[in-house]
Amino acid sequence: MRRISIFGATGSIGENTIDLVRRQGGPEAFRTVALTGGRNVTRLAELARELDADIAVTAYPECLGALREALAGSRTEAAAGPEALAEAADRPVDWTMSAIVGAAGLVPGLRSLRHGGTLALANKESLVCAGALMMAEAVRHGARILPVDSEHSAIFQALQGEDRARAERVIITASGGPFRDWTAAQLAAATPEQAAAHPNWVMGQRISIDSASLFNKALEMIEAREFFGFAPEQIEVLVHPQSIVHALVGFADGGLMAHLGPADMRHAIGYALSWPDRAALPVERLDLARIGQLEFRAPDEMRFPAVRLAREVMARGGLAGAAFNAAKEAALDAFLAAEIRFPDMAGCVEAVLGQLDAAGNLTSATIDLDKVQAVDHLARLKTAEAARKTGKN
Ligand code: NDP
């Protein structure tokens, strides 16, 4: 029986993963080792009971009592806190879903690579913060990392059977989010609720707002570099409002291989769950005649500077990715707390990257976890300071 663990089980990707696990036989077909969540311990316990998990872990020690209570009478062990998450990742499994949101997903992802097996990676932040480290750890322990982000799954699928060396560019698409056609003045007045209302995809609040600011696309550009080894100048972004074409790979002969699919994460999750096979999946079959038109346009980097910042981060290298991700997460916290306006997020991130670079904090010939965590911490502090200053002006 295939052993699985799901980190971030109570989130949007986690629930979609469990939907597929359930449809493919649930506890009859899979032995669930660990399920993890954050504050939603009621749901975590429900899922753990349903899948008969060995252990359920909440990220927050103050939620342990409630989790224990919700699991009473079941055979599932309860645990809490970041160390418990890492220890759950040490338990050997064949397939792990990494779907915690944010840099908090890095350590569990890294630790799960140590027992080999497959890591299905939705947590793009871990590659942005520490791509070289993740990849080296996978090689060292004979583990396989499969992409779950729809764009990277699309690239991965377009590269199947191809000579990677003959791929000369990748194009990842962005819907443009709810603010695609908003003016700068409208963006300045945007609320978190408006920013989280994605037109095509149903996702967690944070990634939805990152989609509206194109910070999500910026992370994905860096993820494409780390995952597939494309050079920064080989990675392009196109705004594609229909979210049907997820990515294209351009080959040396001028041909482009596009991957098309419905805006349903169960396609990419299901692909990673069944790879190298393709399972029948419960997703909509596209009717292109009904869709009629597929549009593409260049992103507006004036209104959405995140794409430009991603290029600068890739050119900078070293610890720039870790600082960028942490600054972005802290800027999003400040926006959610109504301390800064929507466009200020990019301003704060750019200012903090500049400060850290000038102070030599982004330079490092090698990447290790301590260095990544130190720059992450610093970037969060600096961004909170920058946000307070910006908010007062
Ligand atoms: P959600 O916000 O829906 O879910 C996040 C999960 O992480 C929940 O289980 C949450 O627990 C848990 N969590 C929150 N904070 C912490 C923490 N500090 N430590 C440990 N666990 C925590 O996010 P999504 O499912 O949307 O996204 C998850 C990841 O997948 C992100 O990296 C995102 O970028 C990526 N991704 C998501 C896509 C999507 O369609 N949603 C598409 C492509 C990539 P709880 O809810 O119980 O508090």
Give the angle subtended at the CA of 134 by the CAs of 317 and 356, to the nearest 5°. Answer: 30
Helix (H) or strand (E) holding 172: strand 167-174
Atom of ligand 1 nearest to the CA of 125: 32
How many whole angstroms from 52 Cα to the centroid of ligand 1?
Answer: 22
Q: Is residue 208 part of a domain?
A: no
| Residue minimizing CA distance to atom 32 of ligand 1 | 123
pLDDT at 324: 98
How many whole angstroms from 100 Cα to the centroid of ligand 1?
Answer: 4
AA identity, residue 124: K
Q: Is residue 306 part of a domain?
A: no
Among 24, 248, 10, 274, residue whose Cα is nearest residue 146: 274
How many whole angstroms from 129 Cα to the centroid of ligand 1?
Answer: 16
Long-range CB pairs of 374-381 (<8 Å, 24+ gap) are: 375/319, 375/322, 375/323, 375/326, 376/103, 376/129, 376/322, 376/323, 376/325, 376/326, 377/326, 378/323, 379/322, 379/323, 379/324, 379/326, 379/327, 379/330, 379/352, 380/326, 380/327, 380/329, 380/330
| Residue minimizing CA distance to atom 8 of ligand 1 | 11
Atom of ligand 1 nearest to the CA of 43: 47
| Contact residues for 87 (Cβ-Cβ < 8 A; gap 6+) | 79
The model carries a pTM of: 0.97
Q: Is residue 45 part of a domain?
A: yes
Domains: count for the chain: 1
In SS3 terms, 96-161 reads as EEECCCCHHHHHHHHHHHCCCCEEEECCHHHHHHHHHHHHHHHHHHCCEEEECCHHHHHHHHHHCC
Contact predicate 224/235, CB 8 Å: yes
Q: Is residue 131 part of a domain?
A: yes
| Residue minimizing CA distance to atom 18 of ligand 1 | 104
Q: Is residue 177 part of a domain?
A: no
Burial of 363-379, coded b for 16+ CB within 10 Å and e otherwise, reads ebeebeeebbbebbebb
The owner of tokens 């991130």 is 349
Q: Which two tokens stand for residue 25?
A: 């036989």
Q: Is residue 281 part of a domain?
A: no
| HSE, side-chain direction, 13 A CA sphere, residue 115 | 19
**Helix, strand, coil: what percent of the chain each, to 5?**
50, 15, 35
User: Using alpha carbons only, how large is the chain's radius of gyration in Å?
Assistant: 20
For residues 206, 210, 211, 214, the Cα torsion angle rounded to the nearest 10 degrees is 180
pLDDT in tens, the chain (393 residues): 999 999 999 999 999 999 999 999 999 999 999 999 999 999 999 999 999 999 999 999 999 999 999 999 999 999 999 999 999 999 999 999 999 999 999 999 999 999 999 999 999 999 999 999 999 999 999 999 999 999 999 999 999 999 999 999 999 999 999 999 999 999 999 999 999 999 988 999 999 999 999 999 999 999 999 999 999 999 999 999 999 999 999 999 999 999 999 999 999 999 999 999 999 999 999 999 999 999 999 999 999 999 999 999 999 999 999 999 999 999 999 999 999 999 999 999 999 999 999 999 999 988 999 999 999 999 999 999 999 999 887
Q: Is residue 9 part of a domain?
A: yes
| Contact residues for 303 (Cβ-Cβ < 8 A; gap 6+) | 182, 184, 187, 343
How many whole angstroms from 291 Cα to the centroid of ligand 1?
Answer: 30
Contact predicate 214/174, CB 8 Å: yes
Helix (H) or strand (E) holding 66: helix 64-70
Q: What does the alpha-carbon distance between residue 238 and residue 296 come to, in Å, rounded to a whole number? A: 6
Domain hosting residue 27, numbered range: 2-147
Atom of ligand 1 nearest to the CA of 44: 47
CATH of the domain at 126: 3.40.50.720
Contact predicate 157/271, CB 8 Å: yes
Q: Is residue 136 part of a domain?
A: yes
Q: What does the alpha-carbon distance between residue 332 and residue 387 come to, in Å, rounded to a whole number? A: 10
14 exposure class (CB count in 10 Å sphere: 0-12, 13-18, 19+) = buried
How many whole angstroms from 101 Cα to the centroid of ligand 1?
Answer: 3
Atom of ligand 1 nearest to the CA of 210: 34
Peptide bond into 305 cis (omega under 30): no
Pocket of ligand 1 (CB under 6 A): 8-14, 37-40, 59, 99-101, 104, 122-125, 149, 201, 203-204, 206-207, 265
